Structure 1
Amino acid sequence: MVFKRRDRRSPLQVLWELIWPRGGWTRAFHYVKHRVRRLPDRPERIARGIGAGVFASFTPFYGIHFVIAAILARLINGNILAGLSGTFFGNPLTYVPIGVVSLQTGHFLLGTEFHEGAKQGLMRKFARAAGDLKDNFLALFTDRDADWQALGLFFDEVFFPYMIGGIAPGIVAGVVCYYLSLPVISTYQKRRRAKIKAKFEAIKKKAQADLPNPGNPG
């Protein structure tokens, strides 16, 4: 196959590159920024898509942020590809701060308590809940007994407060990223159109100069 990778990656390498991309997160950020700016769409739709992706990063639905971003981008008439790129806002460097802010806000709105120790084990709790969910699903097809108590506690103490608390900061972050990205994308597209037009004019002038002059048969 033409597009097949020459260097086969092990499952461990694939998992590690999800946490730390090749070249680091700075290079990955510039790559995403470059791809977003070159999307063939109106700046307003691209910016709305970015805002939708950023908002999706504040939801506790880890693993399906792309799906959430695509649905939101569709609902607000934003660019879906930009929405997928906007989820880059949520990454291993920002997941914990986003989670702590969302949890604190959620517990405040619900009138419950937020335990400071939660910030150290936030990702571990999500991983443990995913493991429990998998075990309970497998229990449906085996002789094992399903235990929903731990998942119920996780839902009450982490998931539901996170979901409620992530709405407000997610909207704020999404709106801020919309207004920050809109002028950047607009300026980039104008410059790019100007460069393409100048290049086209140069080719046109060169072609006209190469045409034989009827008044000078040579």
Structure 2
Amino acid sequence: MVFRRRDRRPPLRALADFLWPRGGWGRAFHYVKHRVRRLPDSPERIARGVWAGVFTTFTPFYAMHFVVAAIIARLMNGNILAALSGTFFGNPLTYVPIGVASLQTGHWILGTEFDPDVDKSLVGKFLAAGSDLFDNLIALVMDRPADWQGLALFYHEVFFPYLVGGVLPGIITATVCYVLSVPVIRAYQLRRRSKIKAKFDIIKKRAALDAASDKGENGPL
């Protein structure tokens, strides 16, 4: 499997690597780029997968980006592994600017007011909404009254504007990544095929020389 690790990391180590990978996000980006270019598929299908993954990072479906990216890639006939790799466009360094841009665009489209301090509390609002959802589900199971007021406020002020506003910047950014990815992936695949062909040619020549050498040494009886 492409993404399976041989060594299992402890939960705290996995969380630390998610927030700041070993070697930094620059190294992680180059690793993902390398794996995408080596996928055994056409450049167009791989690039469509990248499009799906990058676009997904502009949606508010946190913790479900892999699932959403896979569904979009499937609908676009794109490479699903490339889509999963494309979701790494969204990371702790880019989530806040992506969220702020999506929210600003969403509030502008909907004609509502954008909170200028949202960039300081965006992650906290999503975490609080998740906590409220969990508590309310537990309350329903335990036959206790559930309070949905906080989630309703979160939906109208954050989630829905984010969902609407993320479409335009998501399409623009994903399309730019698609346009840049196709020629890069095609050039890489052609260069890799030429290297593999050159290696096979060398092996065939050596085999032919060895066969000719054996025939010359043995000779006719």
Q: Tell whether the structures are fold-level matches, with TM greater than 0.5.
A: yes
Query: Structure 2 length as normaliser, TM-score?
Result: 0.92
Query: Structure 1 length as normaliser, TM-score?
Result: 0.94
Counterpart Cα distance in 2 of 1:52 and 1:212: 54
What does the per-residue CA deviation read over 1:143-199, in whole Å, with 9 as the maximum and x for residues that have no partner? 532110000000000000000000011000110000011111000000000000000
User: By how many angstroms is 1:14 displaced?
Assistant: 2.1
Counterpart Cα distance in 2 of 1:8 and 1:115: 39
Q: Where does residue 56 of structure 2 map in the other structure?
A: 56
SS at match of 1:120: helix
Aligned pairs (5 A) from 1:1-218: 5=7, 9=10, 11-212=11-212, 217=219
State the percentage of identical aligned residues.
65
Counterpart Cα distance in 2 of 1:187 and 1:212: 37
SS at match of 2:177: helix
The one-letter code matched in structure 2 to 1:90 is G
User: By how many angstroms is 1:142 displaced?
Assistant: 1.8
Structure 1 segments unaligned to the other structure (5+ residues): none
Counterpart Cα distance in 2 of 1:165 and 1:42: 32
Aligned residues: 214
Counterpart Cα distance in 1 of 2:91 and 2:41: 26
Counterpart Cα distance in 1 of 2:47 and 2:96: 25
Shifted more, 198-207 versus 27-36: the winner is 27-36
Counterpart Cα distance in 2 of 1:215 and 1:139: 88
Counterpart Cα distance in 2 of 1:51 and 1:150: 34
Structure 2 segments unaligned to the other structure (5+ residues): none
What does the per-residue CA deviation read over 1:80-122, in whole Å, with 9 as the maximum and x for residues that have no partner? 0000000011000000000000000000000001010111100
What does the per-residue CA deviation read over 1:190-211, in whole Å, with 9 as the maximum and x for residues that have no partner? 0000000000000000110111
- Over aligned residue pairs, what C-alpha RMSD do you find? 1.6
Counterpart Cα distance in 2 of 1:95 and 1:129: 17
Counterpart Cα distance in 1 of 2:79 and 2:123: 30
User: By how many angstroms is 1:215 displaced?
Assistant: 6.6
What does the per-residue CA deviation read over 1:38-88, in whole Å, with 9 as the maximum and x for residues that have no partner? 000000000010011000000000000011100111111110000000001
The one-letter code matched in structure 2 to 1:167 is V
> 4+ residue runs of structure 1 moved beyond 3 angstroms?
212-216
Counterpart Cα distance in 1 of 2:60 and 2:79: 23
